Structure 1
């Protein structure tokens, strides 16, 4: 049965009525009070009024006068020196009052006293460690009234003390970081309820990342980073396709094209204007999109700090493992995957290559489930097509591996066209065509790459008894054939009839209900704040120069003139030529290896010259129709 506690002012008067206490007197007095308690409920002890008063003193949460605050600090310090007398069961109401204190409503002097008590209590007995850690973890969340930037000073006051306390407890109790992990993860905010504001979610993740980068990082790094990725994906799943695009009859490439057409001539050379128009497709009123957008920015900035601090690779390893277990297996993730994209952009030679190899290996591994392999090759094609920071050798090597695998697959089959039975093969073929829709012109503009591309057995892969051109997404097939014809990529291209590659029952069957044939995960990021980070590292379709935009094929001799005033793949053509060494490139391809960092620096892409024609029916990952 509960009791009605007296207010602080009355409690202070009663505790002080016998005269002033020295610090030592107060410690002995509090010990006596603690020892006198024989039941957890003061109601059962009408004679023990001092214990009731003690609870009242520590129960008042903020708003103290100077005298009250001074006495509260003194009381907490005395309790810190008497923690060995505190019993988990007998003093449960006292503990509940202290564990329920909110540091955000206290002044610095009171914060220090509370933190000192929590550290002392945790160190005194293993019985209280989890509760002390939970009390500190609760401070990760500010009160609803908290606002930035006005509350920035208070935020620093609270969180610096909290993390310092967690480190101090870990120094005294080496096993405490492992016990902290489930407590932090269990505190995940209930983001599904709209009354949880974005700031609370962001601050929670900010503290998770601070733990990862702090003194406890060696123990908590993997679960903290994994927890962040899982939270991003959970928010991603909550965003419906209707929140991204109102007109389900349009694909993302059409939206990009509209953005170009709606822009002024000056805007056409500014991909930020295109991205700004696209980002309006995700409304700021969508609370899940808003939270995800803010968390992505926070994670991007954390990755930047890791790169500066020389820890990016070890952090990336954890992110990659988490990506494989969660995002890669999720059904058409919309934006969470851009964390791995951004990490790769910070270190293309290591992280960027490792990510591509992981996707390759996942696709090539015959023991993996078909849907996982299809997802992996969709990620691979989208990544190689969109990443402005990848070297030519990474793209060329991966393309050759895909072509080689598909070519070998055809040779082992005696079956005819079958969208279900050969869906992994068709996914590989579509990845090749999708990649070349973006990269063909860039390759054909460089004599060495053009010669290499013409030697690939693409026709053997795409024109055979399995008929991938009749099964893969028609808009990609037609765009690929159109560019191939202009580039002279197939000797027998005249035999192809574009009308044969419209939407058919075969293409509709490919991928089954999941329609992973239409999934390209690194389409433009439509979240407003996140886009600012991705955009400089990203190739929009409007930046691609299809081969059919030339009036006639360029010869090797006039390539230099054609690009004299433009960048080729983001680099000056003279620099591009300098970095392409014939022996080095052929050697890399022959060894089927991906060139490491600081070699073959050129990347694909380019500046916008004019509004380009684009496939009218490509509906990748951000199109509701692709569901």
Structure 2
């Protein structure tokens, strides 16, 4: 409506400029609440991200533009959607399309936000303005606002950025259907440029924080956007680091996303973790291809022999994983420093991810250290009140619960036993009482297991399947032996002091019972749990048993003799492998009859792994080291008068091999018969009887029954004394297997 039209209708003459100023004042009054919503005092007080307000140009130059924008949008809104845009509206779309006049474009965005009814027109019937809205949402103010300062520097026009982001906030607050595309556009502005400037990083997060405050439903839409844009694990390490840092920054204004985000990062870490394979010899590879171990080089210092593809090297994958793990460690530490109660919230998140993802991931090597680190932080803050430290005990309790759960798969329960053994052994903050409770729980389950067995179910029809028939039992037993190898001295001292002290009533005897009677009954059982352990675990457990009288002298002498025989058989097998030409037939025969006792599983019959073996990622390892216990010799040097160095061990082994040269020659000529001598020895004898243990019988009765049914023959007193001295001295001369410390993944 023009001034002439008003005069023709008999209206009072109106000054156009006065009317424009009056409308502008009314518009600004209407827009005050929206401006206040963007103020710092209304965007989460604890948030560090606040979107700056925009200063309007002088009225003399801003008024005409504001009037032009309002008129163009209003006319386009009133005409039909099928009609072509009017000249003024087309000028607006061209300004966003061409981007050739950025100062004018900035004023247009300010005018859209402040002019009368413009926001309402744009958002009420979005179909009519779909193209213009799309251009506004997809506009990149950072790419278009760089002005040349000199030949080396680019100066960002932050006023254009602020004008654009404030307009987006207004549009989203007026129509929530624009929420998801706006959040997606802002997030892509952030992640597309690695290590962006501080101004860019701050303003994008500030815009997102403001939108989340004005539209709380956006908090539910943010995580799907973050998850769907997660970079591929083989992208550059800098890209991954930048992305996940920004993900954790989002938690400043969307704290409710913490659980989902940490679980997402753990899943991505697991994808990289499982690609890095470390075999028993210490070689590192990715999907059966190998490369220079680099930061993964173990104490064995064995180099890889094959070459990886150029786009998939061990070092690169390790760097990526190391960066993300470091980010997670630092985040957990910062949260715990803010408030210790945060540690319990994060622990519940990690525990859910552990049960859902980590536990069922075959031989995960690094991600589980997040739990060890978090429990260590909580324990360190509660060091003056040890009884108040709860997280590591809760974690151990959860693992025991999984082991005892009959409705879970056997493989999951075996993994839980390995996790329990490794965690209790390696975490330096685990108290002696918890060690005793964990070992006692494992022994209690093992005793219940053998009590339910019928005598006919003890041995497999094919002895090579003995491990798989009782796999959970052997894994649980090995876990208890493993804990004693690392923490046995502390546990034994605590148990004996607790039983003999005046406060013994405070401790339930059954809860911390690791007495010699229990170990003797377990080790002399016909299932022979020590025979199917890792060689290093078996030898170390025998040493600590000797030094602390964990096993009766009679049973111990028999076990030492068995250990010597197994070592001799292993030496024979190694010598055969060195002297035999490898063919498909010989390799298959070795697979079936090689290893400990002819079990066909090499030196690791249970395919065991201990998930908290040394942490090999260098940059993030500093977060683990304060809470991690490395292997230390648990026994004093005075256990044996014999020299226990590697040279004597090698000489002893050579003597054993030389003594059996003739028998090895005969064995090679006999073929399968010689390889199955140990099988016949184990299987033969139908006259063996076995009576299962029960909870009703006392310790002495059970021990006597087990001794009667044992596969070992009772020696005379003189033979026992001589055998104990000789076999134990020979055992001590043998070198220690390195798998205790260097991993058995």
Fold match by TM threshold 0.5: yes
CA distance in 2, matches of 1:136, 1:398: 50
Question: Highest Rg: 1 or 2?
Answer: 2
Per the alignment, in what secondary structure is the counterpart of residue 229 of structure 1?
A: helix
2:428 pairs with 1:388: yes
Question: Could you tell me which of 211, 217, 222 is aligned with 1:180?
Answer: 222
CA distance in 1, matches of 2:734, 2:142: 56
Show the counterpart of 2:536. Answer: 475
Residue 400 to residue 112, structure 1, CA distance change in 2 (3 Å): same
Question: Could you tell me which of 183, 206, 218 is aligned with 1:133?
Answer: 183
Question: Could you tell me which of 105, 109, 114 is aligned with 1:72?
Answer: 105
Show the counterpart of 1:504. Answer: 596
Aligned pairs for 1:331-342 (under 5 A) are: 331-342=362-373
Question: Could you tell me which of 432, 438, 453 is aligned with 2:480?
Answer: 432
Aligned pairs for 1:439-518 (under 5 A) are: 439-443=487-491, 448=497, 453-455=514-516, 457-491=518-552, 492-496=555-559, 497-501=562-566, 503-504=595-596, 507-508=599-600, 517-518=607-608
CA distance in 1, matches of 2:603, 2:93: 65
Question: Could you tell me which of 727, 730, 737 is aligned with 1:616?
Answer: 737
Deviation at 1:434, TM superposition (A): 1.2
Aligned pairs for 1:312-351 (under 5 A) are: 312-348=343-379, 349-351=389-391
Aligned pairs for 1:165-564 (under 5 A) are: 165-192=207-234, 196-212=235-251, 214-217=252-255, 219-241=256-278, 245-246=283-284, 286-310=315-339, 311-348=342-379, 349-414=389-454, 415-417=457-459, 418-443=466-491, 448=497, 453-455=514-516, 457-491=518-552, 492-496=555-559, 497-501=562-566, 503-504=595-596, 507-508=599-600, 517-541=607-631, 544-547=632-635, 549-551=637-639
Deviation at 1:296, TM superposition (A): 0.8
Per the alignment, in what secondary structure is the counterpart of residue 469 of structure 2?
A: coil
1:339-396: CA deviation from partner (whole Å, max 9, x where unpaired): 1221111113222222111111111111111111111111111111111122222222
Residue 549 to residue 222, structure 1, CA distance change in 2 (3 Å): same
CA contact (8 A) 2:97 2:135 kept: yes
CA contact (8 A) 1:198 1:290 kept: yes
CA contact (8 A) 1:226 1:322 kept: yes
CA distance in 1, matches of 2:300, 2:316: 27
Residue 347 to residue 550, structure 1, CA distance change in 2 (3 Å): farther
CA distance in 2, matches of 1:466, 1:207: 55
Deviation at 1:51, TM superposition (A): 4.7
Per the alignment, in what secondary structure is the counterpart of residue 413 of structure 1?
A: coil
CA distance in 2, matches of 1:459, 1:369: 29
Residue 347 to residue 126, structure 1, CA distance change in 2 (3 Å): same
CA contact (8 A) 1:429 1:462 kept: no
CA contact (8 A) 1:379 1:521 kept: yes
Bigger drift between 112-121 and 481-490 goes to 481-490
Please report the TM-score for the alignment, with normalisation by the length of structure 2.
Answer: 0.60
Residue 89 to residue 189, structure 1, CA distance change in 2 (3 Å): farther
CA contact (8 A) 1:444 1:450 kept: no
CA contact (8 A) 1:233 1:333 kept: yes
Structure having greater relative contact order (Cα 8 Å, sep ≥ 6)? 1
Deviation at 1:302, TM superposition (A): 0.8
CA contact (8 A) 1:420 1:509 kept: no
Deviation at 1:159, TM superposition (A): 3.2
CA distance in 1, matches of 2:419, 2:735: 21
CA distance in 1, matches of 2:443, 2:415: 18
Deviation at 1:39, TM superposition (A): 6.4
1:211-260: CA deviation from partner (whole Å, max 9, x where unpaired): 33x2421x3222122212112212223334489735999x9xx976558x
Deviation at 1:34, TM superposition (A): 4.9
Deviation at 1:443, TM superposition (A): 4.0
Show the counterpart of 1:113. Answer: 163
CA distance in 2, matches of 1:189, 1:308: 30
Question: Could you tell me which of 91, 95, 104 is aligned with 1:57?
Answer: 95
Show the counterpart of 2:174. Answer: 124
Per the alignment, in what secondary structure is the counterpart of residue 326 of structure 1?
A: helix
CA contact (8 A) 2:366 2:615 kept: yes
Q: What number of residue pairs does the alignment pair up?
A: 497
CA distance in 1, matches of 2:612, 2:98: 52
Residue 285 to residue 472, structure 1, CA distance change in 2 (3 Å): closer
CA distance in 2, matches of 1:135, 1:409: 59
Residue 550 to residue 54, structure 1, CA distance change in 2 (3 Å): farther
Per the alignment, in what secondary structure is the counterpart of residue 526 of structure 2?
A: coil
Residue 532 to residue 433, structure 1, CA distance change in 2 (3 Å): same
Bigger drift between 375-384 and 410-419 goes to 410-419
Per the alignment, in what secondary structure is the counterpart of residue 388 of structure 1?
A: coil
CA contact (8 A) 2:373 2:624 kept: yes
Per the alignment, in what secondary structure is the counterpart of residue 523 of structure 1?
A: coil
CA distance in 2, matches of 1:431, 1:313: 27
Deviation at 1:550, TM superposition (A): 3.2
Unaligned runs of 5+ in 1: 1-18, 260-282, 554-611
1:185-214: CA deviation from partner (whole Å, max 9, x where unpaired): 11111233xxx32222222222322333x2
CA distance in 1, matches of 2:329, 2:615: 14
RMSD: 3.7
CA distance in 2, matches of 1:300, 1:517: 30
Residue 211 to residue 178, structure 1, CA distance change in 2 (3 Å): same
CA distance in 2, matches of 1:354, 1:255: 34
Unaligned runs of 5+ in 2: 1-60, 146-155, 302-311, 380-388, 460-465, 501-512, 571-594, 642-732
CA distance in 2, matches of 1:246, 1:174: 47
CA distance in 2, matches of 1:357, 1:60: 65
Deviation at 1:167, TM superposition (A): 3.1
2:189 pairs with 1:101: no
Residue 416 to residue 178, structure 1, CA distance change in 2 (3 Å): same
Residue 511 to residue 256, structure 1, CA distance change in 2 (3 Å): closer
Deviation at 1:121, TM superposition (A): 1.6
